[in-house]
Structure 1
Amino acid sequence: MIWGKRHHTSAEQAEEVAQPYGMPLRRRVLGAIVGVTTLAVALFAVPFGISMARLYHDDTVAALGRNATWIAAAVPDEVMHNGVRTVPLPQGLPAQLTVGFFAGSGARLSGEGPANSRVAADARDGHVHEAIEDGSLAVAAPFPTDEGWVGAVRVAMPYDLVRGRIYEAWLVMTGLAVVVIGLAVVFALRQSARLAAPLEHLTRSAQALGSGDFSIRALRSDVREANAAGLALEATARRLGDMLERERAFSVDVSHQLRTQLTGMLLGLESAMGRPGADLTEAIGTAVARGERLQTTIEDLVRLTRGAPTSEPFDVRALIEEITGERRAAFAEAGRRLTVTVSGELPQVAASSAAVRQILLVLLDNAAIHGAGEVTVEVSDLGDALAVEVTDQGKGIDEGEDLFARSEGNGHGIGLALARSLAEAEGGRLILRRAAPAVFSLLLPAR
């Protein structure tokens, strides 16, 4: 432990993952879609509303102008000369209109309207004019007589009616805008859920992977990138699970291999100590030799566990002679013979000497414990591979027995399982070529 450095617990790490920095994706997508839709609606609706208000205003002015021109053409000229108070108006005029007749100065002669009208005075130039007077939208048309333009006809209607029509149009537009924004909200909710769901699943899968669950599976969605990330995470979890399983199996195999050698050394010492007249010097020498072999085994396994480089070439013949030379005395004590046959020059193999040593030691130990008679080691060049076969003259292997399974029930499994895993890790193979008598064949790829 390093003092001053705070180590996060798993609960704190989970809390950090559960409360990530930044805005959630669902909220981001929802805000983006709704914001863009609202801005688009506003950019479209505001100018359209202004244009519609101007259109309604101009339509009303045009209608009032037509009515004023019609009245000016239909009413007799005496209205302007005699100051008639009651003027018969044409049939068909809208009820909300007010009609007045004004002199060229803008003074009202008859009809309805203000006492003086600026828009009526402006009409003396012979053109139709419009303005808002006394809360009404008024249009004045010149009154033609034989003497020229002597006055104007003023037609007006309450401006509240025009404004109400504009407000109704704006209200309809506002309702449509609300409907559009509502639809955008619904779409944004579905879209944000569709985009966020696979990412949230990836987050949960990553948390499960961090907790040691290697059985996670990718969620299929409509987002190709999320699918690719999920498949990559699933493949990573599968590889990590397989790697961890191999590490656990390797640890079990190694512990068994070391425990077997240590047990043999201890049993030899205990036997010498409990036997009267035993040669303790010889027993200690044997224990020391076994201890040295145990140390070599530990160094090899540690080197293999750390993934040390395996590209350095080594002399295969010398390694095999070294291993068989160490075990020949043990076989001789048991009244058995160990012979080695090497055919011609041997190629360099693409494997580590540590792995090859441990595999051969397992095979020789297996032949010593479970085999009988002479043990033969044959080494031959297969061109693209090197074959090492270990044979004994025992009764062989029962049919259907799986020697390479990790089971301690028959005494075979763990050591041979370790040997096979080491061979496969080096790109080779370890097989039982013949069951009776047993022939184990180790195939190593040549460089």
Structure 2
Amino acid sequence: MRRRLLSSTLLVAVIAVLLLGVPLGVAVNRLIQEEATQELSGEAKSLLNDVEYARIQEQPIDPDQLERKYPDRHIQIYAGGTPPQVTAVGTEPEQENRLSADAQSESGVYVVVSRDRTQIEQQVHAWLLLIVVLAAVAMAVAVGLAVVQSRRLTLPLRDLAMIAERLGSGEARPSKHRYGIQELDRVAEVLDRSATRIADLLAREREFATDASHQLRTPLTGLTMRLEEIVAAADDPSVVKEEGEAAIVQAERLTAVIDELLAAARRQRHAQTAVVELDALLDQQFIEWGPAFRRVGRKLVLAGTRELKALGTSGGISQVVSTLLENSLKHGGGPVTVTTSNTEKSIVIEIADEGKGIPEDIAPRVFERNMSGAGGTGLGLTLARALAAADGGRLELVRPRPAAFALFLRPVGDRGRNRVVSGPA
């Protein structure tokens, strides 16, 4: 590209010099010739006046004075009379190189002033040389500007190519380079916006992988506990059957979570909420988590209003309750009380324990991603709140010490919003 810019600029400069320089040289040559001719004509008229004045004053013509007044000139004066008077001053130039001008008065005085053309040609050559030098300087300046301009254009293009290469290799960060050229700056802005979007997409993919691993861990933990109970109660057929059924439920939940995550990742599922019976859902959670709490000497207590129904999805609500129970098992203490109640605007599931609770410096940010005060991943509560919001509800920390969380769900009569699964954000 740089070579093409240089060659095209040089070609334009040459054409411009030819179009301007040649007519200028012809004009200068003609102007100098005409000026020399007019100068000789003026000198001839001036000399004629001097001769006429000398004749009136009856003074002789002084050749030395004429030679000093008209240097480098050959002068011939023809005065009337019998015989006619002829006066010559200066060196006569050669015939082929002579430029002459004459003047004649009414009294019969005739003067001829001549000069050598060589001086005029030298002057013409000097001006033509100056024009050639100026043309060469103009071409040199044009080439220099072409080099500067080509660098100004090619270097940003190379930079943009490197940015695009880094963008294609996965290094998606805006360069924020600007070059002072509107078109190139526009390309740089587009690349920066693309880098931002790609970085956002990559971040979403990483978050999705993290979220998926965390959401799959809870059903897998429950499934492991069920299998452990089956192994421990292998001698009791009734217990084995009960624990086996619980393990099957956990496996079904695991399958449902995987399906939901895949659909969320593809942005293809828009599921409407349905009526969920909270009693059956909570009973299932107690069946799943009861053995784990009993093994550590803690109790699960269900209290509050029964036979409540709410709008949502059983998978989403179960995942939220399961996350809260798992957090209470790991980080809480004492019995865990699950209380259900209803108000005019919400159906509330409150889960509280009697442990140390959440530190004051963490409580305001407990739902932020990667925020954990007990060595956890810091994702559980973040995902639980996202699932609650996807169902049209909300998850809140109502008391930090001892910890108490409340899940607010929409009552059955509230059809204002539909649940839309859009994947982790």
Tell me the TM-score normalized by structure 2. 0.68
Shift of 1:254: 1.5
Match of 1:281 in 2: 241
- The structure 2 residue matched to 1:139, chosen from 77, 96, 100, is 100
- The structure 2 residue matched to 1:247, chosen from 205, 216, 239, is 205
* Cα distance in structure 1, aligned partners of 2:14 and 2:126: 21
Match of 1:208 in 2: 166
Q: Map of 1:33-52 to 2, 5 A cutoff?
A: 43-52=19-28
Match of 2:114 in 1: 155
* Cα distance in structure 2, aligned partners of 1:327 and 1:442: 15
- Per-residue displacement from partner, 1:184-243 (whole Å, max 9, x unpaired)? 555555555556655544433333222222344312554456556545544543443344
Match of 1:7 in 2: none
State whether residues 387 and 444 of structure 1, in contact with CA within 8 Å, keep that contact through their aligned partners in structure 2. Answer: yes
Q: Map of 1:37-436 to 2, 5 A cutoff?
A: 43-69=19-45, 90-92=66-68, 96-98=72-74, 112=92, 134=96, 136-141=97-102, 153=112, 155-158=114-117, 160-183=118-141, 186=144, 189-190=147-148, 193=151, 199-223=157-181, 226-227=184-185, 229-231=187-189, 233-273=191-231, 275-279=233-237, 280-310=240-270, 312-315=271-274, 317-318=275-276, 320=278, 323-330=281-288, 336-338=300-302, 358-367=319-328, 370=331, 372-378=335-341, 382=345, 389-395=349-355, 397-399=357-359, 400-401=361-362, 403-404=366-367, 406=370, 410-411=375-376, 413-420=378-385, 422=387, 430-436=395-401
* Cα distance in structure 2, aligned partners of 1:156 and 1:444: 116
* Cα distance in structure 2, aligned partners of 1:192 and 1:387: 70
Question: Secondary structure in 1 aligned to 2:102?
Answer: strand
* Cα distance in structure 2, aligned partners of 1:97 and 1:169: 23
278-287 vs 177-186, which deviates more?
A: 177-186
State whether residues 366 and 412 of structure 1, in contact with CA within 8 Å, keep that contact through their aligned partners in structure 2. Answer: no
296-305 vs 368-377, which deviates more?
A: 368-377
State whether residues 394 and 437 of structure 1, in contact with CA within 8 Å, keep that contact through their aligned partners in structure 2. Answer: yes
State whether residues 140 and 153 of structure 1, in contact with CA within 8 Å, keep that contact through their aligned partners in structure 2. Answer: yes
- Per-residue displacement from partner, 1:365-422 (whole Å, max 9, x unpaired)? 434665533212456565xxx6755322332523145755536964463422433455
State whether residues 393 and 409 of structure 2, in contact with CA within 8 Å, keep that contact through their aligned partners in structure 1. Answer: yes
RMSD: 4.6
328-337 vs 93-102, which deviates more?
A: 93-102
- Per-residue displacement from partner, 1:250-277 (whole Å, max 9, x unpaired)? 3123123324423432453355246551
Change (3 A) 1:411 1:218: closer
Task: Specify every segment of 5 or more residues in structure 1 that has no aligned partner in the other structure, as ranges.
Answer: 1-22, 77-86, 103-108, 115-132
238-247 vs 293-302, which deviates more?
A: 238-247
356-365 vs 45-54, which deviates more?
A: 356-365
Shift of 1:283: 3.4
Shift of 1:296: 0.9
* Cα distance in structure 1, aligned partners of 2:390 and 2:139: 62
- Per-residue displacement from partner, 1:110-129 (whole Å, max 9, x unpaired)? 98467xxxxxxxxxxxxxxx
Shift of 1:41: 5.6
State whether residues 397 and 435 of structure 1, in contact with CA within 8 Å, keep that contact through their aligned partners in structure 2. Answer: yes
- Per-residue displacement from partner, 1:324-355 (whole Å, max 9, x unpaired)? 35324335665534457599997x78xx8865
Shift of 1:299: 1.0
* Cα distance in structure 1, aligned partners of 2:307 and 2:186: 53
* Cα distance in structure 1, aligned partners of 2:398 and 2:158: 52
Number of equivalent positions: 377
Tell me the TM-score normalized by structure 1. 0.65
Percent pairwise identity: 28
Higher relative contact order (CA 8 A, sep 6+): 2
State whether residues 336 and 352 of structure 2, in contact with CA within 8 Å, keep that contact through their aligned partners in structure 1. Answer: yes
Change (3 A) 1:398 1:69: closer
* Cα distance in structure 2, aligned partners of 1:162 and 1:192: 45
